[in-house]
Structure 1
Amino acid sequence: MFAARIQCSEDARRLARRRLPWMVFDYIDGAAGEEHGAALNRAALSDIRLRSRVLVDVSQRDLGMPVFGHDAKLPFGISPMGMCNLAAPGADLMLARLAARYQVPLGVSTVASTPMEQMIETAGGHAWFQLYFSGDGTGALKLVDRAEAAGYETLVLTLDVPEVGRRPRELRHGFKMPFRIGPRQFVDFACHPLWSLTTLFKGKPDMANFTMPGYTFDRTESRARADWSYFARLRDRWKGRLVAKGVLDVEDAVRLRDAGVDAIQVSSHGGRQLDGAEPPILALQNIRRELGPDFPLFFDSGIRSGEDIVKTYATGADFVFLGRILLFAIAAGGEAGLNSLWTTLSEEASITLAQIGHTDLRSLDGVLAGATGGKIETP
């Protein structure tokens, strides 16, 4: 019933807001500081204009895109997101099944609710493991070894969290993992009985990748000791593909390329880290210009529609990843809600291609008509 009401990502967000406890909704939806950065992400994407073309045969359109030599059936994958099962019990595995069906990359977070081994198996091998540095890095390297043993071939190193961003909406609700239930949280859960009873019946979400000897994790622990020497150690240790995620600066991008990363994921962590960060879509254009057309650049942050996906490819991305809107769809309508939004995004991207006179996303030269703010340059 709820799935049929999801006709765009904002529908999913609106329904999720009704169903989720306030604490959980604001954990998923919230951003750093006064949330100007998250709003600017959206404004920068919304400002991009596309050239509408006519009398082009666009009857046969293909949304498939290659990523690391593999032909994904759709041009968007799933960003690593922590504690997905807060949206609904089994959310992690819903995302994994989606990745398997469409053969798209699934980012498996360090703080996933489901063990990394089960995630890659359910995803049919279409899973990348996301790594956070913590402490002196020893525990993180244990996770690297475990990911390798589980069959992961791609590691995503998240670099933009030297300290966890200060997100006032989380702090107001006293959000902590694992949950600490006080009077405020008790009232919150009591006002959302369907979520609370379902979660109680299925078991409260936990951070599943930390149940191993010699590893402890504190979500708020400083990661400020990570530096280039740590990166060099990791690059030597990990023999598979390495993606650097959370990059917005051109100088950093150049140095990471020279240090041996296989791709860079341009991202502001969905606006959850630095409120004053440059909008990622603008950073993407600058980094693409500096690194040239051949180096793989991925993108996340602020994507809300299939049209946004097309805009991002036109600006220089090689692959796009979606985040919180997928959790909203799960919260709104379970696996049916997720599938509904996924189909909607696919249809939106396909219709956008038709409107701009293209049949695929592999070459979008000349489709940008500029931006209302004048910041996106047309080729």
Structure 2
Amino acid sequence: MFSNAIHSAADARRIAKRRLPWMVFDYIDGAAGAETGAARNRAALDNATLSPRILRDVSQRSLSKSVFGKLTQRPFGIAPMGICNLAAPRADLMLARLAAKYEIPHCVSTVASTPMEEIIEVAEGNAWFQLYFSGDGEGTFKLVDRAKSAGYETLILTVDVPEVGRRPRELRHGFKMPFKIGVSQFIDFALHPRWSLATLVAGKPEMANFQSDGFTFDRTESRAKATWETLDRLRDAWPGNLVIKGVLDTNDAIELKKAGADAIQISSHGARQLESAPAPFEMIAPIRDALGPNFPIFYDSGLRSGEDVLKALHAGADFAFLGRILQFAIAAGGEKGLEQLWGVLSDEASIAMAQMGICELP
């Protein structure tokens, strides 16, 4: 008999794999190429250790971190993820409510399935907007103005997708947005009636930020025209915090600091872009050394537990972001499943801190 209890991220993934259509699960779970990049980063995280210390008073531990001068209740936030409502109807708003409750940043994707204005309202201001540069940039800068008007104070420019990576699991299923329904997709949906009926009632997920006149986006469109001059233009146009996401090179990190970025985010896009990229976890320490102790460094990619988050922080990151495991929790149990996994991750981090003999995070 299958258990639906979530005691780990692996539990959430296992249940989600059973409940989601194959096409949707592989879209969320898949990585570039033969997925060796994902395995390499997972191996790097698994090989990292945390040092236990004994006989210290660790009865009063705090999971809070300061990010851009604001105190969060957890050292991890929500990474930008496209079309989250594929996991379950209204998934974006479940994440937004979680962000409001724990005062952590919810990074809203350019291709979110809920309009950016609604998400930041539900998140009670605890939202950042993630931006893709695409085409000639005209639509991109319209979104910048829109995010500013909606009240976003932090913008994340994702720079590691000059072209969308090849993900064979997506290609085998013919995954496209909007959905193209053929025989294989029809069978897939029919064999997963719980998801299909809920999605039918709620309406198929769309890229909601492009449902208004004057806003268009093609997920497969080339983003290859973005340059350092684009960054300069964005820096001039955006008065708030500017985070550059998708950094895996020390020299790029140094140049971004010089160019006026307020933070960088070390990331391999969940290993969904360049299969042969270095393990992002292994880049935290050298980039920290290059940028000095005070420049904000965020991290995402491959995190599966509270202990993983502590490993990233002890390697030199200031804050971490969780991605697909949160979608799996929603697919596994809706908002209750999300809260369950969030509690697991929080407990894992807190218990690990006690084992390490620390009450405050680095």
TM-score (norm 2): 0.99
Equivalent AA in structure 2 for residue 61 of structure 1: R
Aligned equivalent of 2:337? 337
Residues 126 and 3 of structure 1: is their aligned pair in 2 closer, same or farther, counting only changes over 3 Å?
A: farther
Superposed, 1:74-89 pairs within 5 Å as 74-89=74-89
Q: Corresponding residue for 1:23? A: 23
CA distance in 1, matches of 2:188, 2:318: 42
Structure 1 unaligned residues grouped into runs of 5+? 363-379
Structure 1 residues 128-182: Cα deviation after superposition (integer angstroms, max 9, x where no partner): 0000001000100000000000000000000000000100000000000000000
2:318 pairs with 1:318: yes
1:96–1:123: 8 Å Cα contact kept in structure 2? yes
- Report deviation, 1:213: 2.8
Question: What residue number does 1:156 align with?
Answer: 156
Q: CA deviation at 1:3?
A: 9.5
* Partner of residue 183, structure 2: 183
- Please give the alpha-carbon distance, in whole angstroms, between the structure 2 residues aligned to 1:348 and 1:3: 21
Which has the larger displacement, 47-56 or 256-265?
Answer: 47-56
Structure 2: 5+ residue stretches without partners: none
Aligned equivalent of 1:127: 127
Contact 1:32 1:167 in 2 (8 A): yes
- Offset from partner CA, 1:252-292 (integer Å, 9 cap, x none): 00001000000000000010001001111111111001101
- Code of the aligned partner of 1:157: L
- Structure 2 counterparts to residues 247-258 of structure 1, below 5 A: 247-258=247-258
Deviates more, 1:46-55 or 1:171-180: 46-55
- What letter is aligned with 1:69? G
Return the offset for 1:212.
2.7
Contact 1:284 1:315 in 2 (8 A): yes
Match of 1:115 in 2: 115
C-alpha distance in 1, partners of 2:235/2:295?
18
Task: Name the counterpart of 1:49.
Answer: 49
Distance across 1 between alignment mates of 2:215 and 2:85 = 22
For residue 270 of structure 1, give the secondary structure of its aligned residue in structure 2. coil
Paired residue for 1:300? 300
Match of 1:301, as an amino acid? S
2:100–2:126 Cα contact (<8 Å) kept = yes
Contact map agreement 1:3 1:340 (CA 8 A) in 2 = no
Distance 1:215 1:357 in 2: 51
Distance 2:241 2:57 in 1: 38
Q: Which residue is equivalent to 2:73?
A: 73
Q: Deviations over 1:344-369 (max 9, x none)?
A: 0000000000111111213xxxxxxx
Contact 1:112 1:209 in 2 (8 A): yes
CA contact (8 A) 1:3 1:337 kept: no
Contact 1:109/1:129 (<8 A) preserved: yes
SS at 2:149's partner residue? helix
* Aligned-partner Cα distance in 2 for 1:68–1:13: 32
1:180-329 residue pairs with structure 2 within 5 A?
180-329=180-329
> What is the CA–CA distance in structure 1 between the aligned matches of 2:181 and 2:251, rounded to whole Å?
44
Show CA shifts across 1:165-212 (max 9, x none).
100000000000000000010010011011001100111000000123
C-alpha distance in 1 between matches for 2:272 and 2:203: 27
Instruction: Tell me how far 1:215 sits from its aligned partner.
Output: 2.4
Q: Which residue of 1 aligns with 2:172?
A: 172
Instruction: Give the 3 Å change call, closer, same or farther, for CA 176–205 of structure 1 in structure 2.
Output: same
Distance, in Å, in 2 between the alignment partners of 1:339 and 1:228 is 40
Q: Does structure 1 conserve the Cα–Cα contact (< 8 Å) formed by 2:112 and 2:207?
A: yes
**Which residue identity lines up with residue 48 of structure 1 in the other structure?**
A
Q: Residues of 1 paired with 2:3 and 2:338: CA distance?
A: 8
Partner of 1:367: none
**Aligned: 1:35 with 2:29:** no
Question: CA contact under 8 A between 2:4 and 2:15: conserved in structure 1?
Answer: no
Identity rate, percent? 67
Q: Is the 8 A contact 1:3 1:336 kept in 2?
A: no
Q: TM (normalized to structure 1)?
A: 0.94
Q: Which residue of 1 aligns with 2:357?
A: 357
- Structure 2 CA distance for aligned equivalents of residues 215 and 255 of structure 1: 31
Q: Deviations over 1:88-115 (max 9, x none)?
A: 0010000000000000000000000000
Alpha-carbon RMSD:
1.0
4+ residue runs of structure 1 moved beyond 3 angstroms? none
Letter in 1 for 2:205: P
Residue 7 of structure 2 corresponds to which residue in structure 1? 7
- Do the aligned partners of 1:250 and 1:286 also contact (CA within 8 Å) in 2? yes
Q: Secondary structure at the match of 2:298?
A: strand
Sort the Cα spacing of 1:189 and 1:67 in 2 relative to 1 into closer, same or farther, 3 A. Answer: same
Post-superposition shift, 1:230? 1.0
Shift of 1:4: 6.1
**Mapped contact 1:303–1:322 kept (Cα < 8 A):** yes
User: What is the distance in 2 between the residues matched to 1:73 and 1:49?
Assistant: 24
Distance 2:337 2:287 in 1: 35
Query: Aligned residue for 1:63?
Result: 63
Is residue 253–residue 287 contact of structure 2 (8 Å, CA) maintained in 1? yes
